[in-house]
Amino acid sequence: MSTEAGSGVKRRDFLKILGATGATTAVVGCSSEKVGKLIPYVTSPDNTVAGVSQFYATTCKECATGCGVLAEVRDGRPIKLEGNPEHPVNRGAICATGMSAMQGLYNPDRYRQPMLREGAALSPVTWDRALEVLGQKLGEVKSRGGAGSAVFLNAHETGSFPGFLDQWLSAQGMPAHLSVDTMAPAATISSNRAAYGVAWPSIDFKASALILSFSADFLDAWGHRVPQQLDWADARAQLEGAPKLVYIGARRSLTGLNADQWIPAKPGSEMAICNAILGRGTAAAAATAADVSEATITALVAAVKGAGSKVLALCGMNTPDAVECGTMVAEINKSNGSVGTTIKPAMAHAGYEGIASYLDLVDATERMAAGSVPVAFVRNVNPAHSMPKAAGFAEAFAKVGFKVSFSNMPDETSELCDLVLPDNHWLESWGDAVALAGERSFVQPALEPVFDTRSVGDVLITAARADGTIASRFAQPDYRSWMISNFAGGATAFATALTKATAPGSPVASRGTRNAVAARPATMSAGDGNMFVVVYPSATLGDGAGANKPWLQELPDPVTKIAWQSWVEIHPMTAKEMGVREGEHLTIKTAAGEVTAPAYPYMGVRPDTVAIALGQGHTAYGRFAMNVGVNAYALATNGFDSAGNLALGALKATVTRGEAHSPLVTTEGSARQHGRGIAQAMMAAAISAPEVEVEHHEIAGHVSQEFLPGLKSPVAADAQGEYANPKSKDKGMYNPEHPTKAEARRWAMTIDLARCTGCSACVTACYSENNIPTVGATYQGRALSPATWDERPGANIIKGREMAWIRLERYYEGNTNTENEFSPDFEARFVPMMCQHCGNAPCEPVCPVYATYHSPDGLNVQVYNRCVGTRYCSNNCPYKVRYYNWFGYGEPERRQYAWPEPMHWMLNPDVTVRGKGVMEKCTFCVQRIREGENRARSEERELNADEFTTACAQACPSRAIVFGDAADENWTVAKLAYDRRAYHVFKELNTYTAVVYLKKVNHPAPAASATA
């Protein structure tokens, strides 16, 4: 009873204040957490809002394609790369390699400053000192008259830089540079030039009816992957009118697995098949050469004839006769009259213009070996790794007087150099690229350089301006000003063009010329041995450039599903004959050298052939690349075809069984779906057939299936009441009339298996968007004893602990007796599998702490903070899409930390980095959903249909994934969910998933013989 009403503090108030201050003191005083800096800016630029992304349009430089990308920049740092929807080449799609450029940018092993050789090692120096050394050495070379013998190896690119570089070289009195792209399909380019007059005519899959691929892996690493895949998927999405693909080659690649028929021709027999098709040889001769049935060849010839001008024949071989063979393949197009229809030289891609041939490289190497090269420059080219060992590059390079590297990673070649002047990453640089003739795309920096690096253009200009004799030829102080000064319209037009990232026009400077290297006759000693070897570039790592990026290392190979490892593909029948089981080592020995890697029995390779991918076996190139796998370039002889391109194919080898055994770092469990209907397919002809009434099995205890006519599965379950049964009195967990309207939504996804090629870009997109840790690096394994750690690459993946929220399952159909017979007739089905966001989720009731529960808008939500890690949810998930943090992958102080400084700069601030001991899984990119909803709310409007999408759907170069609100018919997903081909995986478990798959569409083998 207060007696002093109105005067001073009442007792009750006093206690309140006391309590509040006491609690505050206790809370503040007891906090053991360090105060972290959330926002890097002290004073932010005017157009920056903390927590809101800005998108900078730039152009991907990871391969020669030149896709337009948007760098998502948050508070001054790029956090993700997305496809630029307005770019004509990739139309918003992006591949795994492109997205992984982020890990090149933030790679912890990048050169952090210039390096100068002192004795045996490279030591850090200042830029002043480095430029001084460069100037001094250039001066020495010039004064001795050696400039004319200089060699500049530049990673192939289009745009203005090659011209600029040649101008600089010519000012220095040096010959034009060599533009090196070891991943370019050189023989195809040569034969295209011969046949069509352009390096890369555009390919129109949609206009084709029959596609013949002679090892042209247009869905793996051959050509311009993203636009090819976009077109291919669009063509295949025509379902009944889709082009049929026949794949001819000794190994069934990802492209081969997407084909309707595989003709496993013996390596070296392609010419004979072309002859048969062109009527220059008999089917019998071709069949004998190719070791396939004569009926198949006859049927193939007939099918090509029947398709007329809708034939599209592609050649992606790299044998000594590849150019001749490619020319013959082009003749198939020509004789069928399909040039201009399916293959369009008039609409050429420009990405492969200006590539130096392998012979140029060999010539340069020979000159180096002869000691006649006084100075050599390399920039992001790594011939010490990505050239056959037989070429002897490393030994030759050592004889160069002074070696300068502009590379930004300490790769094998750069580590041999005397001076390293690390270039900026392309995300830190100005530049341009030309993907389609007459269309210029720009590269603009998305952040200040992460390290003390400088753009190569700036360095070259600085070096030239320091040299009084040529300074006048470089009026601009840096490369950007040089670009603007050459840009029509000047700085204003340049700034405008940047916002669109593309502008009509061509590179501002023309390339210099080199003295042509004398042509040499095609040489390659195939060698002898009992087996053929197919050496192919990895679809994920290329021939090694991708190996320093953990996303690409962790991304299972789309065909074999192996990561962080080299493997030898061998047919199960051959493996059985040799007594080799999966994981047992095989040694391949060719005339040039040998490699040893674990065996992967694969029914998609001929029994007389083994296959091995390039890309691994680095001895330098950073912590993620080193000591992983073997370098298959060791097998290649230094042979080349008639156009001087490296010949890798049709090598003969002796394959022997080794003693050791390494478990495969694979994400594959069973490659057969055991009749469980996970990857369903239907024949194209059945699509337009009258709908057959689906037989309903009334099973006691099951929900009545009446409301499921056809598929009509209740993806909108939450919005429409319990399991979407209109007769049900139970209207589900949430009130559909609720004012937030969240209850009225049902986020859902459709995945069109007729489009999906299995390329796995969605997987990397998810890693990037959702801060998923990679777990396969050599330092991330577990303890084998209290003192020793498992330091095998991919040790965690061997234990099945990969964290990919979305994975590509690859199931085989047919051909179950692979150990005893060889049959090319099997089918692969790819299923992207992620959290199905079940309407009736088995994971939810078993969680003891509500860490996983159902949100009103149909999401199956995982609350990391609440999770105690019983892992019961994962046990109860039929789809097995929950992933557990076995280690502190997200904790910097832990050994297994997945983002060593500065890699954590690319973490998405909208997504929690999970600590150890909690479960995680696909969230349907809930941060994007909420961002979209908030944006709509702040703009006082409703969400527009298809306003945003998930990271996987956004990246997908096949456009197979569609995300949206299934309860709102304006969204595309709401229509697709009721497609004739739609089905749920494990529908019989009554999980009422939000992910609807559309059945794959199969076509009869185009070249099936009547008897077969």
Partner 1 sequence: MGTIAQPVEGLRRPNIASADVQIPAVTDYEQVDREIIATLGFTKKWLLGLGVAVAAMLVGASAWIYQIYWGLGQAGYEPPVMWGVYIITFVFWVGIGHAGTLISAILYLFRAGFRTSIYRAAEAMTVFAVMTAGLFPIIHIGRPWKFFWLIPNPNWRLLWPNFKSPLVWDVFAISTYLTISTTFLYIGLIPDFAVLRDRETNPMRKRIYGILSLGWRNSDREWRHFAKAYLFLAAFSTPLVLSVHSVVSFDFAMSLVPGWHASIFPPYFVAGAIFSGFAMVWTIAIPMRKWFKLEHYITLNHLDATAKVVLFTSLVVGCAYMIEFFIAWYSGVRPEQEFFWYRVFGQWWWAAWIMLLCNMALPMSLWSQKLRRNPTWLWFLSIFINIGMWYERFVIVVPSLSHEFEPWQWGSYTPSWVDMSFLVGSFGWFFMWFLLFVKQMPVMAIMELKEIVVPKRKHAHDGGHH
C-alpha distances out from residue 976 to 609, 716, 840, 1000, Å: 43, 13, 21, 14
- Binding status of residue 836 toward partner 1 by CB under 8 A: no
d(C-alpha 1006, C-alpha 1003), whole Å: 8
Structure tokens at 899: 């983002």
Is 129 or 866 the residue whose CB approaches partner 1 more closely? Answer: 866
- Binding status of residue 656 toward partner 1 by CB under 8 A: no
Decide: 566 and 629 in contact? Cβ < 8 Å: yes
Which of 783, 814, 934, 942 is close enough to bind partner 1 by CB under 8 A? 783
d(C-alpha 745, C-alpha 18), whole Å: 46
CA nearest neighbour of 262 among 271, 254, 252, 272 = 252
Is 43 or 785 the residue whose CB approaches partner 1 more closely? Answer: 785
- Binding status of residue 845 toward partner 1 by CB under 8 A: yes
d(C-alpha 953, C-alpha 968), whole Å: 19
State the DSSP string of 941-979.
SPPPTT----HHHHH-TT--EEEEETTSTTSHHHHHTTS
d(C-alpha 413, C-alpha 407), whole Å: 9
- Binding status of residue 861 toward partner 1 by CB under 8 A: no
Structure tokens at 517: 């290297």
Decide: 523 and 744 in contact? Cβ < 8 Å: no
- Binding status of residue 661 toward partner 1 by CB under 8 A: no
- Binding status of residue 673 toward partner 1 by CB under 8 A: yes
- Binding status of residue 782 toward partner 1 by CB under 8 A: yes
Which residues fall within 8 angstroms of residue 116, CB to CB, at 6 or more apart? 122, 123, 125, 129, 130, 133, 418, 419, 420
Which of 506, 870, 927, 972 is close enough to bind partner 1 by CB under 8 A? 870
Q: What is the smallest separation between the CB atom of 251 and partner 1, expressed in angstroms?
A: 23
- Binding status of residue 834 toward partner 1 by CB under 8 A: no
If 0-12 CB within 10 Å is exposed, 13-18 middle and 19+ buried, where does residue 344 land?
A: middle
User: The tokens 């077969």 sit on which residue?
Assistant: 1012
Which of 886, 945, 979, 980 is close enough to bind partner 1 by CB under 8 A? 886
Of 491-499, 564-572, 882-890, 995-1003: span binding partner 1 (CB under 8 A):
882-890
Decide: 807 and 834 in contact? Cβ < 8 Å: yes
Is 157 or 722 the residue whose CB approaches partner 1 more closely? Answer: 722
Which of 280, 676, 696, 702 is close enough to bind partner 1 by CB under 8 A? 676
- Binding status of residue 94 toward partner 1 by CB under 8 A: no
Which of 846, 861, 945, 1008 is close enough to bind partner 1 by CB under 8 A? 846
User: The tokens 């299936």 sit on which residue?
Assistant: 705
Q: What is the smallest separation between the CB atom of 733 and partner 1, expressed in angstroms?
A: 13
Is 500 or 871 the residue whose CB approaches partner 1 more closely? Answer: 871
- Binding status of residue 989 toward partner 1 by CB under 8 A: yes
- Binding status of residue 779 toward partner 1 by CB under 8 A: no
- Binding status of residue 26 toward partner 1 by CB under 8 A: no
If 0-12 CB within 10 Å is exposed, 13-18 middle and 19+ buried, where does residue 800 land?
A: exposed
Which of 847, 951, 967, 1001 is close enough to bind partner 1 by CB under 8 A? 847
- Binding status of residue 872 toward partner 1 by CB under 8 A: yes
Structure tokens at 842: 């088995």
Which of 57, 286, 754, 867 is close enough to bind partner 1 by CB under 8 A? 867
- Interaction mask 916-955, partner 1, x per CB under 8 A: xxxx------------------------------------
Report the SS3 class of residue 523: strand
Which of 369, 586, 833, 994 is close enough to bind partner 1 by CB under 8 A? 833
Q: Using alpha carbons only, how large is the chain's radius of gyration in Å?
A: 30
- Binding status of residue 876 toward partner 1 by CB under 8 A: yes
Decide: 997 and 834 in contact? Cβ < 8 Å: no
Which residues fall within 8 angstroms of residue 168, CB to CB, at 6 or more apart? 460, 461, 464, 474
- Binding status of residue 784 toward partner 1 by CB under 8 A: yes
Which of 124, 842, 902, 932 is close enough to bind partner 1 by CB under 8 A? 842
Is 224 or 801 the residue whose CB approaches partner 1 more closely? Answer: 801
Q: What is the smallest separation between the CB atom of 296 and partner 1, expressed in angstroms?
A: 32
Which of 869, 900, 902, 909 is close enough to bind partner 1 by CB under 8 A? 869
- Binding status of residue 786 toward partner 1 by CB under 8 A: yes
Of 297-305, 746-754, 883-891, 996-1004: span binding partner 1 (CB under 8 A):
883-891
- Binding status of residue 280 toward partner 1 by CB under 8 A: no
Question: Which segments within 144-218 are labelled E, that is strand?
Answer: 151-155, 178-180, 200-203, 210-214
Which of 767, 811, 963, 997 is close enough to bind partner 1 by CB under 8 A? 811
If 0-12 CB within 10 Å is exposed, 13-18 middle and 19+ buried, where does residue 461 land?
A: buried
Is 311 or 679 the residue whose CB approaches partner 1 more closely? Answer: 679
Is 666 or 954 the residue whose CB approaches partner 1 more closely? Answer: 666
How many residues touch partner 1 under the rule CB under 8 A: the total is: 58
Is 477 or 669 the residue whose CB approaches partner 1 more closely? Answer: 669
| CA 558 from centre of chain | 10
- Binding status of residue 669 toward partner 1 by CB under 8 A: yes
- Binding status of residue 848 toward partner 1 by CB under 8 A: yes
User: The tokens 């674990």 sit on which residue?
Assistant: 598
Which amino acid appears at position 265 of this protein?
Answer: A
d(C-alpha 72, C-alpha 62), whole Å: 17
Which of 520, 696, 866, 937 is close enough to bind partner 1 by CB under 8 A? 866
Is 650 or 759 the residue whose CB approaches partner 1 more closely? Answer: 759
Which of 171, 678, 681, 945 is close enough to bind partner 1 by CB under 8 A? 678
End-to-end CA distance of the chain: 101
- Binding status of residue 3 toward partner 1 by CB under 8 A: no
Which of 152, 200, 830, 884 is close enough to bind partner 1 by CB under 8 A? 884
Q: What is the smallest separation between the CB atom of 375 and partner 1, expressed in angstroms?
A: 50
Q: What is the smallest separation between the CB atom of 406 and partner 1, expressed in angstroms?
A: 40
Of 73-81, 118-126, 548-556, 879-887: span binding partner 1 (CB under 8 A):
879-887
C-alpha distances out from residue 599 to 547, 808, 858, 1001, Å: 21, 22, 44, 32
Decide: 958 and 969 in contact? Cβ < 8 Å: no
State the DSSP string of 159-170.
SSHHHHHHHHHH
- Binding status of residue 17 toward partner 1 by CB under 8 A: no
d(C-alpha 317, C-alpha 964), whole Å: 42
Is 707 or 886 the residue whose CB approaches partner 1 more closely? Answer: 886
Question: Which segments within 563-608 are labelled E, that is strand?
Answer: 568-570, 584-589, 594-601
Is 529 or 842 the residue whose CB approaches partner 1 more closely? Answer: 842
User: The tokens 């007729």 sit on which residue?
Assistant: 754
- Binding status of residue 670 toward partner 1 by CB under 8 A: yes
Greatest distance between any 2 Cα atoms in the chain: 117
Which of 16, 473, 672, 696 is close enough to bind partner 1 by CB under 8 A? 672
Is 55 or 864 the residue whose CB approaches partner 1 more closely? Answer: 864
d(C-alpha 810, C-alpha 831), whole Å: 6
Q: What is the smallest separation between the CB atom of 845 and partner 1, expressed in angstroms?
A: 4
- Binding status of residue 986 toward partner 1 by CB under 8 A: yes
The stretches of 258-380 forming alpha helices (DSSP H) are 270-277, 283-290, 294-307, 322-336, 358-369
Q: What is the phi/psi pair of residue 98, to 5°? A: -60, -45
- Interaction mask 790-809, partner 1, x per CB under 8 A: ------x--xxx-----x-x
Chain residues binding partner 1 by CB under 8 A are 668-676, 678, 782-786, 796, 799-801, 807, 809, 811, 833, 842, 845-850, 866-872, 874-876, 878-880, 883-888, 894-896, 916-919, 986, 989
